[in-house]
């Protein structure tokens, strides 16, 4: 079964492998298959589920709500997010204004078929709305009982520090950050992780398998496999190309196969296990287009990678690893 970790310094425990439905539910796969994937996650011991209102323009929340209907709500940890425009995309249908946050939580709760979410996250940093307004709105969501904890996603160390200061003044629990993190993408390690450790936040990381690249299925000099994400222009192909267009990346990823074999893991399991070696990571988000993928990925839970193998991973990947902390700031648009 999947192990639990505390989210930040809070008492909330989440499964260290959390099921996320970005790019799949409501878009890439049929609803029946999506629900089967959620069932597989529950059967494997996953109780934490992450989504966002913007995923499939709200359809992902609806599918997740339907898939979890009938489950004991107190036995689940449900996360969602707010920031990006949805629906008619009017002037106030975006960002972290008080209006957008308070209206968006209502829509998310309705689609998720629940009275509250365990974690409500700012999907990006809003450079237009005063941070004080944003944090007051989140505080009101918590005090109304519609969210138990708050988090952020892809915020810089400085933004996290400012957000935590206001959250403490307002006496609301800001407990997590949701960044991209993998063997190939380590931009949070220099600044975001130390700041989060100091302030009591955990990371809930997305794309631990680097959009499938770390599974080893993209071979150097070969065309992308048919049906893979790299061939799906609506399903993240542009993000995958960040890695697949560099043949050195693909060559070096293949050098990880002996490490995975030594641990008795698939390469995808190795990638998920690797992010969980970082003690500041509370959960790795996994998605799935087939139920059996869930069953395979949860085998990364509880894996301990010895220091000598971690060193071999670093040696194998070398200078293709992206580490520039300035890239976090680029994920939040100056205007939306």
| Bridge partner list, 180 | 206
DSSP 201-265: -EEEEB-TTTTTGGGT-S-TTSPPPTTSGGG-TTTTHHHHHHHHT-HHHHHHHHTTHHHHHHHT-
DSSP code of residue 84: S
Q: Maximum CA pair distance of the chain?
A: 55
Which of 19, 55, 125, 181 is labelled catalytic? 55
DSSP 36-77: HHHHHHHHTT--EEE--TTGGGGHHHHHHHHHHTTS-GGG-E
> What does the buried/exposed string (b/e) look like for 309-333 if buried means 16 or more CB atoms within 10 Å of the residue's CB?
beebbeebbeebbbeebeebbebbe
Distance CA 64, CA 52 (A): 10
Distance CA 279, CA 193 (A): 10
Q: Residue 284 phi/psi, 5° resolution?
A: -105, 130
Is-catalytic flag, 181? no
Q: Please list the active-site residues.
A: 55
């Amino acid at each position: 079964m999947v192990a639990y970790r505390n989210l930040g310094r809070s008492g909330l425990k989440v499964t260290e492998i959390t099921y996320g439905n970005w790019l799949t539910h409501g878009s890439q796969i049929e609803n029946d298959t999506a629900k089967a994937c959620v069932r597989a996650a529950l059967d494997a011991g996953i109780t934490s589920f992450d989504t966002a209102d913007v995923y499939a323009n709200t359809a992902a929340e609806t599918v997740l709500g339907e898939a979890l209907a009938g489950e004991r709500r107190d036995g689940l940890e449900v996360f969602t997010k707010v920031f990006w425009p949805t629906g008619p995309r009017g002037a106030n249908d975006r960002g972290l204004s008080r209006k957008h946050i308070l209206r968006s939580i209502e829509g998310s709760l309705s689609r998720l078929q629940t009275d509250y979410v365990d974690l409500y996250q700012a999907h990006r940093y809003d450079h237009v709305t005063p941070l004080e307004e944003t944090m007051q709105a989140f505080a009101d969501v918590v005090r109304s009982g519609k969210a138990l904890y708050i988090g952020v996603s892809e915020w810089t160390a400085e933004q996290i520090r400012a957000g935590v200061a206001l959250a403490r003044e307002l006496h609301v629990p800001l407990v997590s950050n949701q960044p991209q993190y993998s063997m190939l993408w380590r931009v949070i390690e220099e600044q975001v992780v130390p700041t989060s450790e100091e302030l009591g936040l955990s990371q809930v990381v997305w794309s631990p398998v680097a959009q499938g690249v770390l599974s080893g299925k993209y071979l150097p000099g070969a065309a992308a496999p048919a049906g893979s994400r790299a061939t799906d222009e609506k399903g993240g192909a542009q993000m995958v190309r960040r890695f697949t267009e560099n043949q050195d990346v693909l060559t070096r990823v293949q050098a990880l196969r002996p490490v995975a074999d030594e641990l008795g893991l698939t390469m995808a399991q190795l990638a998920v296990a690797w992010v969980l070696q970082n003690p500041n990571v509370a959960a790795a988000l996994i998605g799935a287009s087939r139920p059996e993928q869930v069953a395979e990925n949860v085998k990364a839970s509880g894996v301990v990678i010895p220091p000598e193998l971690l060193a071999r991973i670093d040696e194998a990947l070398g200078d293709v690893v992206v580490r520039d902390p300035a890239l976090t700031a680029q994920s939040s648009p100056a205007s939306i």
